[in-house]
Chain A
Amino acid sequence: MAQPLVKKDDDQDDEVEYSPFYGIEKGAVLQEARVFNDPQLDPRRCSQVITKLLYLLNQGDTFTQREATEVFFAVTKLFQSRDIGLRRMVYLIIKELSPSSDEVIIVTSSLMKDMNSKTDMYRANAIRVLCRITDGTLLTQIERYLKQAIVDKNPVVASAALISGIHLLQTNPEIVKRWSNEVQEAVQSRAALVQFHALALLHQIRQNDRLAVSKLVTSLTRGTVRSPLAQCLLIRYTSQVIRESSGNTQPGERPFFDYLESCLRHKAEMVILEAARAITELNGVTNRELTPAITVLQLFLSSSKPVLRFAAVRTLNKVAMTHPLAVTNCNIDMESLISDQNRSIATLAITTLLKTGNESSVDRLMKQITNFMSDIADEFKIVVVEAIRSLCLKFPLKYRSLMNFLSNILREEGGFEYKKAIVDSIVILIRDIPEAKESGLLHLCEFIEDCEFTYLSTQILHFLGIEGPKTSDPSKYIRYIYNRVHLENATVRASAVTTLAKFGAMVESLKPRIFVLLRRCLYDNDDEVRDRATLYLKTLGADDTAAITDAKEFLFGSLDVPLTNLEASLKNYEPSDEPFDITSVPREVKSQPLAEKRAPGRTATGLAAPATTTSTIDTYESLISSIPEFSSFGKLFKSSAPVELTEAETEYAVNVVKHIFDGHVLFQYNCTNTIPEQLLENVTVVVDASDAEEFSEIASKPLQSLPYDSPGQTFVAFEKTEGPTVGKFSNILKFTVKEVDPSTGEAEDDGVDDEYQLEDLEVVAADYMQKVGVSNFRNAWESMGPDCERVDEYGLGPRESLAEAVTAVINLLGMQPCEGTEVVPSNSRSHSCLLSGVFIGGVKVLVRLSFGIDGQKDVAMKLAVRSEDESISDAIHEIVASG
C-alpha cells in the first residue's frame, strides 16, 4: 500500500501532505458505496467512491464474492444518472469488478441500450464492457451490432469492436471468424488506428490460411498503411510469408524484399528497425541483402534514445551469431556502448563484441569488460561469462588473459548461478585447452578456499581428483584439499577425503603422506567422512597388485549401471537379510519420453559435460563387454551419435549407434514400441549388407521382449577388413507382435510375425575419425613435421557457396575444426580451414584445407595432410578423392 507522504511540495514548503487515500479501508469504502442507492444521486460523490474502489482493486485488495456482488448491483443503479463523467467511471468499474455470469444479466439490458445509443461514445464503451463480461449465448445476440460497429464511421467505435474481436477470438473463434468481411473493410479504413487493429484481427482470423495471409500481405504492401504500428505488423506478416514461401522460389529472387528494403527508408524509426530486423532474420540472407540493414542499425547505435540503441544492438547481437563478419563494421560504435548507462544495452554490446572480435582485440576488450563487470547484475554477468567461454575456445592462444579474467571475477561477490557459470567455464577451458590446465586447477583450488557453495566445492574436489594427479606436480594441490577436511561441512569433507584417496592411488610417491592425512580423518565427527577414510586406507593399503587395481577401479571407474536405474532399485530395496545386489540393477538406459527426445539437444556445459560424454562411452563399453558375443572385439574406438532410422511419430522408433572397433563394426539398434496395445517379442534387425562387400555379418543378439515405451536394444556385428572400410546397409525390423489388453496389461498367448522397413544406414569414413582438437594448430603442425605430409589439389565442382563446400568437407572427414576456421566469412572468394583428429589405430592427423571459388561457383581445394603415419595421410586423401 502507498504510505502517507511526507514530501515537500514546491509551493508549500512546510506543509505535510497526506495521500487522499490515507487510512483507506475496504469496509469503510464498501459502506460508502451505499450512496449508489440514493434516490437523488450525487455524481461527484459517486465518482469519488468509485475511485476509491479502483484504488483498492489496483492495490491488490480483493472483494469476497458477496462484497463484489453487492457493489456490482449498487453500481448498476448508476445507469440512471445522466452525468457523463460518472457514466464513464461506471463502465470502468464494471470491467474491474468482472461480475459472474449469473449477475451479468442485470446490466446487459442497460449496456445493450447504450450500444444502440445515438451517443457514439456510449456505443464504444458499452461494446468494450459487454465483450469483457459476455459469454457465448449473449454474444450471438449482440453479434449483429458488433459487425455494424466494426464498420462504424466513428473510429473509436470501430476500434472498440475490433479489439473486442481480438479478445473474443480466443473464446468464441467460430463467431468472430464470421466477421471477416467487415474486418476486411476496416483494414481499408482511413483512420490509422482502426487500420492497425483491423490488420491485427484479420491476420489472427486467417493465420492458418497461408494463401489468404499471402494475399493480405500482397495487397497491403502495394497499398497505403497509415500508422507505423500497422506498418510494423505488416513487416512481421511479410517475413512470415517469405519464410513460408522460401522453398518455392528460385534462388536469387526473394519476394517482397523490395518492400522490406523500402521500409528501411520509412520516416518512423520503429518501422525502420522492424524492417532491418526482418531482413537480418531472412533465411540464408546474403551479404548484399544484409548490408543496408546493418547500415541503419549502425546509425541507431548512436541514437540518443535508449530504446533505439537497445533494439539495434539486440538485433546485431543476433546477426553476430550467424554472420559475425557482417557486424564487425559496427564494432567501434558498440565499444562506446559498453559504458552505456543502460546495463542491458551494455551487456548486449559486450556479448556482441565478444562474438565479432578478432584475436588482436581480445586484450583491449577484456580491459573494458573488467571495469564494467562490477556494476551489473548477476544475470548479465552470466551472459558475459558464457560469451567469454566461447571466445576462449575460439582463440585458445588467448587463454591466459581470459582465464585470468575468469579467476578474478571468481573472487568477487556473486550468487550461486553466476559462480557456477564461471566454474563451468574454467572446467571447459581446462578440458579443451591442455595448456590452461595447471593454471585453471590452481584457480579452482583458490576458489574452494573461500567458497560458500557446498555443491560447487564438491564438484571441484571431484574434478581435482581426476585431473590433479595427472599434472606435473600433483603435491601442490594436496594442501588445498586437506584444508577442506579441516574447515568445511561434512559433505565437503567427505568429498575431500575421496579426492585425497585418488591422489594416493595415482601418485605412488605421495601415497605415504596421503595415508598420514587419511588417518587423521579417522577421528572426524561425521560417519561418512570416517567411513570413507577407513575404506580408502584399507583398499589403498593392500599389498598385491590385483587389490590395488581394484581400488583404482573403485575410485575412478564409473558405475556400470545408469544412476537413475540404481536410484530406482535402491528405492525398491527393502531392508532384509539379503544384501543389495548391484548386478540386479537393469543396465538398459531408458530413453527420454518421446516428446522430449524430439526437442533439439541442449548444449552440455560445465562440470556435467565431461562426465556425460565419458560416461556415455563408458556405458557403451561396459554394455558391450557384458555381452559374450562381442566381448572379444577389443577396445572400442568410437561410438557414433544415434542415427534415426524411423520418422518421428511412427509406431516403432528405432535409432542405431555405430560402434567402431579395429576389426569389427557393431550396430546397436535402440528400439522403442510406441503402441500401448502391443507387446513385441523376439525383435531382430535383418541387415542386408550386399552394398557393403567388405563387411561380413558374424553375430547378432535379438531382443527377447519389447513392451510399450520401455526401450530395448538388439545388436548386429560385422567383421570388416582393416582400415576405414565403408558401406551401405539396409535394415528390416522383424518381430512377433502380441495384442495386449489395455485394462489388465496382459498380453495374449499367440502372436503374429511381422516386419517393419527401416531407413538405410551407412558406415562412412568419418566414423573412423575421432574429433580431437589441438589448442595451437601451428605448433602442432610444425612439431608433426613434413615427413608424412601429403598434398594434393581437388576440383569440387559447382557448389551452392564456399561455406557449404567447407562444411561438406569437414563432415566428410569427421574431424574437429580448430581456431574457429569452420566459419566462412560471407562473400569471401577463398578460405583456409584447419582440422585435427585421431584416426582409427590412434594416429593423430592434422589437415590444412585451402578453398577457392570462382564466378561460376566452381570450388577448388588444396588438401595438405600431416600425420604420424604416411599411409594414414594417403588414406585421408583417398577419403576426399572418393567422397
Chain B
Amino acid sequence: MILAVLFANSEGNILIERFNGVPAEERLHWRSFLVKLGADNLRGTKNEELLVACHKSVYIVYTVLGDVSIFAVGKDEYDELALAEVIFVITSAVKDICGKSPTERLFLDKYGRICLCLDEIVWKGYLENTDKDRIKRLVRLKPPTEF
C-alpha cells in the first residue's frame, strides 16, 4: 500500500497531501516527520535525485523537483523499489505538465492538472498508471494510444 504522497514547497509548507490507510491522528506526525526529513537532507540535492529512508517496516522515497519536494511513503509490496517507480512517474508527469522543473508558482498554476495526474497515478494506495503520455491522455478523458 502507498501510504502517502506528499508535495511540499521549499519552506516545508504542504502543497498536496494524499494519505491512504493512515488514521487521521497519525497524519500530522507523518507530515512533520517528512517535512523534517526533507529539510535535513534535501538541501543541495540535484533535481530528481532520489533519497531513501526507512522507519521500521515503512519506506520513504523522496526527491526534489524545482521548488517542490515530493515524498512517497509505502509498506509491504510498496518498498523502496516500487516507491522509486511511483516517484519517477510522478516527477515525469509533473515535468510534463509544467514543461520544466516547476517553480512553486508554476506548480500552483497547474494545480488542478497535477491533482488529476496524481489521481491517475495513485489511486487509493495502489499504483494505477505508469506512463506519462498515457496519463496525459487520461486526464483529458482520451483513451490510451495503444488501444
Contacts and interface: CB of A to CB of B under 8 A. Distances in A.
Given A87-B141, A89-B112, A306-B49, A5 B129 contact: no
A382 interface: no
Given A119-B141, A310-B80, A9 B103 contact: yes
Contacts of A47: 112
Given A2-B9, A342-B52, A121 B143 contact: yes
B49 A163 contact: no
A92 B115 contact: yes
B47 interface: no
B147 A5 contact: no
Given A21-B108, A307-B80, A51 B49 contact: no
A342 B51 contact: yes
B115 A5 contact: no
B80 A88 contact: no
A677 interface: no
Contacts of B144: 154-156
Interface size range of chain B in the complex: 35 or more
A327 B85 CA distance: 28
Given A92-B115, A132-B124, A232-B77, A306 B51 contact: yes
B143 A156 contact: yes
A163 B123 contact: yes
Contacts of B98: none
Contacts of B14: 2, 58-60
A85 B77 CA distance: 34
B32 interface: no
Given A229-B85, A232-B77, A51 B111 contact: yes
B3 interface: no
A563 B79 CA distance: 44
A165 B47 CA distance: 37
A526 interface: no
Query: B-side binding surface: helix, strand, loop or mixed?
Result: mixed
A134 to B, nearest CB: 13
A51 B9 contact: no
Interface string A857-879: 00000000000000000000000
Contacts, number: 150
A193 B121 CA distance: 12
A65 B13 CA distance: 27
Contacts of B128: 159-160, 163, 193, 197
Contact of B81 (A1, A3, A274, A379): A274
Interface in A283-319: 305-308, 310-311, 314
Interface in B45-101: 45, 49-55, 61, 67, 77, 79-85
Contacts of A132: 124
Contacts of A122: 141
Contacts of A269: 81
B130 A193 contact: yes
Contacts of B112: 47-48, 50-51, 54, 89
A314 B55 CA distance: 12
B41 A343 contact: yes
Nearest to A227: B130
Contact of A5 (B16, B18, B104): B104
B7 to A, nearest CB: 9
Interface string A229-265: 1001100100000000000000000000000000000
B3 to A, nearest CB: 15
B130 to A, nearest CB: 7
Contacts of A95: 119
8 contacts: A2-B15, A7-B105, A9-B103, A92-B119, A197-B126, A232-B81, A233-B77, A307-B52
Given A191-B146, A344-B54, 20 more contacts: A2-B108, A7-B103, A20-B109, A21-B108, A60-B17, A87-B141, A88-B141, A89-B116, A95-B119, A119-B141, A128-B123, A153-B147, A163-B124, A236-B77, A270-B82, A307-B50, A314-B80, A342-B51, A342-B52, A377-B40
Interface of B: 9, 11, 13-18, 40-41, 45, 49-55, 61, 67, 77, 79-85, 103-105, 108-109, 111-112, 115-116, 119, 123-124, 126-130, 138-144, 146-147
